[in-house]
Amino acid sequence: MVIRIILFVLGIAFYLKGCSYNPLVGWFVYSLIVIGLFSRNRQYAFFFLGGMTWVLAWGLWQGNGELSTQLEGRDINVVGVIYGLPISDQRRVKFDLRVIRSEIGPLPEKIRLNWYSPPKVIRAGQKWLLTVRLKKPHGYANPGGFDYEQWLLTQGIGASGYVRSDPTALLIGTSDYNFSSADWRQYFHALLTKQIGHSPYYGVSEALVIGYKANVTKTQWQLFKNTGTIHLMVISGLHIGLIATIAYFMTLKGLTLIKGLQVAPPQVAAMVTIAVSSFYAALAGFTVPTQRALIMLVVMMLSIIWQRHSRPIAVLLLALLVVVMVNPYTILSSGLWLSFLAVGLIQYVVTARLKPTGYLLSTVKVHVILTIGLMPLLIAFFQQFSVLSPLANFIAVPLVTFWIVPLLLLAVMMSLVSDGLGMFVFEMVELGFDVLLGGLSILAHRDFSVVYVANSNPVAWLLAILGAMILMMPRGLSSRWLGVVLLGPILFVVPEKTERGAFKLTLLDVGQGLSAVVQTANHVLIYDAGARFSTGDMGERVIVPFLRFNNINAIDVLMVSHSDNDHLGGVQSIIEAMTVSEVITSEPQALLSLKPSLCQQGQQWQWDGVTFSILSPGGKKFKARNDNSCVLKVSSSSGTVLLPGDIELPREVFLTNRLKAALKADVLIAPHHGSNTSSSEAFLAAVSPRWVLIPAGYRNRYKLPRSEVLERYKRYRIEAFNVSDTGALTVDFKKKSLRLSAYRENKKRCY
């Protein structure tokens, strides 16, 4: 059974991810399947094919899972129930809506909406008639970045959009289900807000009680991430297991005190455990990690109820099978692989093979094995891991498991009886958080606490898995040193070296904004830093992950063309994460704390045979901020690129009249995101580029790039590429050749 389940799961994984790799890999696997069908053990090939068939059938069954292109940008009337707790800030409320019906027929079952200045308090379980404007799931597509589209898919969300203010929305009522999980979550959310809304640990308390993480501070998230303890703030196996253990043994103890009981206490305790754990999972909103943990627990409890003694690995794989059959797309989630592997590694430690002696040694071995075993996956998914994770978890897991979570749940129950009793217990919980976050802060401030690993190839990753397996082998294996050697290629990635005289330009997908990275053999320049929002900025979301993915830890020049938010917004995050030697901008007053240099026409320098020239501002100061943008030209024997920022017609005319010959370039970043106030005919004729790269957001409210501008590019035989369609665009300026690649093209999806 074990091999069959593994092959079924691998079949799903191959179908969903196989086409992202070299087509030769696909043909190789298909050839193995065909050979397997005619072999003696053809059943194994059938199980692999079964996994592929299941995900295909499931996708067809969920046919309306994603919004059709024809419905994007249209006003649609829908009736739906708010699913999960809404997230509020000063400007808007964000929530998921489970669609009951719409005026235009089938829509995705679940959609994510923003509502700006709603007329009433938005609560989980409310039923609304809304006019919405939707778009297909769309995220920023960049190397090293978070795959938001894939995440939405694993959450079952088929569209996103916003609520229209006209016509007025109508609150119809509440969910048809009284005392639903949404009602309970809303109730406990209000209770926690009333009791500890003022506490610095309010957000983490909500995360542990009801799985609501919106109020966890950015600093707290970063602390948990850097110490490898972020899993403690996501209700999953650890938390469900704790509740299940308490429920099981308390019920078992209580039943043994009842004389003449006609039922077997273990079976009753198992049923009570399923009920209690299901309630806790419902409080967490039945998130994907919670579903995984609950399914795993139910499988284990059913083996007790049915008196079936199954091997732990069989129970684990059976739970995995149920999870991927309920929703095959969860196989795309990093959480699925990390959680099941973590449980498998713990099972491995507690078996007789490693013969732990005593609780302390056993606990240490668990954390060490988890660190080694999860390292290849953490690097593959996040390009980083915490060196201090074993020590941090050694401190944090007992604190959270035996102090914070039990007392937190007790405080909630006491608050139902008396606010005073509840606050008394909450004070003890706060003491636990003081110890936890204080200890983690000491560890996180070590320079070596987090190791960032650059992009590595699949071979290095597979070698790392093999190395981790060897290191986890029982004592006595003479070749354990080989495990350390095999981990080397993934930990010490040597990036591909750019030749002297060559350079690489990457226009990042930062939505409606601009950020470009220029790399020479030994230097890096960043041109603009994208936008900043209330929930974050493009520096932390896109630019820093891209730099780390490419093994870039220092920036020679950070050039900010001008001080508009969509160009300046991510600067602070870059400065905090990277060493920046020099900041250059046309508006120094906007970045005074960074002591920037003024960007002026005539400035020029050379790196590794590549020349950087500033063409503007200079000669004339224009009233409009856009027209005073830094205009940068990068040139070498391999080719040239012009980065004009947000300049408009007046500056284009000025440059065309004064510096016409200097404007010539092979690649042009579209001025002002493809606005009709830029890309004038005279300017395009002077630049005469082969390609124009357009930094515009998907379905942005300015409707950029304008159709007139695209027609203009076409008239001048300039091939245009929009990052909202292609993802990040990379141009390799190699000797006597230019090669353009699009991130979305390189990361094709099979779903």
pLDDT in tens, 434-466: 999 999 998 887 766 778 887 767 778 788 888
Task: Give the Cα separation of 338 and 322 in Å (integer).
Answer: 17
| DSSP 3-state of 593 | helix
Residue 356 in this model has a pLDDT that exceeds 60: no
Neighbours of 86 (CB within 10 A): 23
Output the DSSP codes for 282-330: HHTT--HHHHHHHHHHHHHHHHHHTT----HHHHHHHHHHHHHHH-GGG
User: pLDDT tens digits, residue range 98-143?
Assistant: 999 998 888 999 999 999 989 888 988 899 999 999 999 999 999 9
pLDDT digits (tens, 9 = 90+) for 22-45: 555 555 565 566 556 666 666 777
Two tokens at 360?
Answer: 């302390």
346: enclosing H helix or E strand: helix 334-350
Q: Is the pLDDT of residue 523 over 60?
A: yes
* Secondary structure in 3-state letters for 80-143: EEEEEEEEECCCEEEEEEEEEEECCCCCCCEEEEEEECCCCCCCCCEEEEEEEEEECCCCCCCC
Cα(246)–Cα(607) distance, integer angstroms = 64
Q: Alpha helices of 232-287 — where are they, by DSSP H?
A: 237-256, 265-283
Helix pair 2-17, 312-326: axis angle to 10 deg: 30
Residue corresponding to tokens 């994907």: 288
Backbone angles phi, psi at 557, to 5 degrees: -140, 130
Which token pair is 639? 């080719």
Distance CA 502, CA 735 (A): 6
- CA-CA distance, 565 to 569, in Å (whole number)? 5
- Express as a percent the part of the chain with pLDDT over 70: 91
Cis peptide before 474 (omega within 30 of 0): no
Query: Could you give the angle at the alpha carbon of 24 between the alpha carbons of 19 and 29, nearest 5°?
Result: 75
Note the pTM of the prediction, 2 decimals.
Answer: 0.88
Residue 739, strand partner residues = 732
Other beta carbons within 10 Å of 173: 10
Residue 155 Cα to chain centre, angstroms: 12
Amino acid of residue 424: F
- Measure the CA–CA gap between 587 and 573, rounded to whole angstroms: 19
C-alpha 143 chain-centroid distance: 12
Q: How confident is the model at residue 20 (pLDDT cuts 50, 70, 90)?
A: low
pLDDT in tens, 256-306: 877 777 778 888 999 999 999 998 888 887 776 787 788 888 888 888 888
Q: Are 486 and 479 in contact (CB under 8 A)?
A: no
Residue with tokens 């000025």: 654
| Whole-number average pLDDT of the chain | 87
For residue range 52-87, list pLDDT tens digits in order: 888 888 877 765 567 888 999 999 999 999 988 898
Domains of the chain: residue spans and CATH = 2-61 (no CATH), 69-176 (2.40.50.140), 183-351+388-447 (no CATH), 503-746 (3.60.15.10)
The C-alpha angle 248, 253, 254, rounded to 5 degrees, equals: 100
Which amino acid, 145?
G
Query: Tell me: the pLDDT tens digits for 606-651?
Result: 999 999 999 999 877 888 899 999 999 999 999 999 999 999 999 9
Q: pLDDT at residue 510 above 80?
A: yes
Band the pLDDT of 91: cuts 50, 70, 90: confident
pLDDT digits (tens, 9 = 90+) for 546-605: 999 998 989 999 999 999 999 999 999 999 999 999 999 999 999 999 999 999 999 999
Helix (H) or strand (E) holding 716: none
**pLDDT digits 0-9 by tens, 463-480:** 888 888 888 777 666 677
Q: What is the pLDDT of residue 304?
A: 86
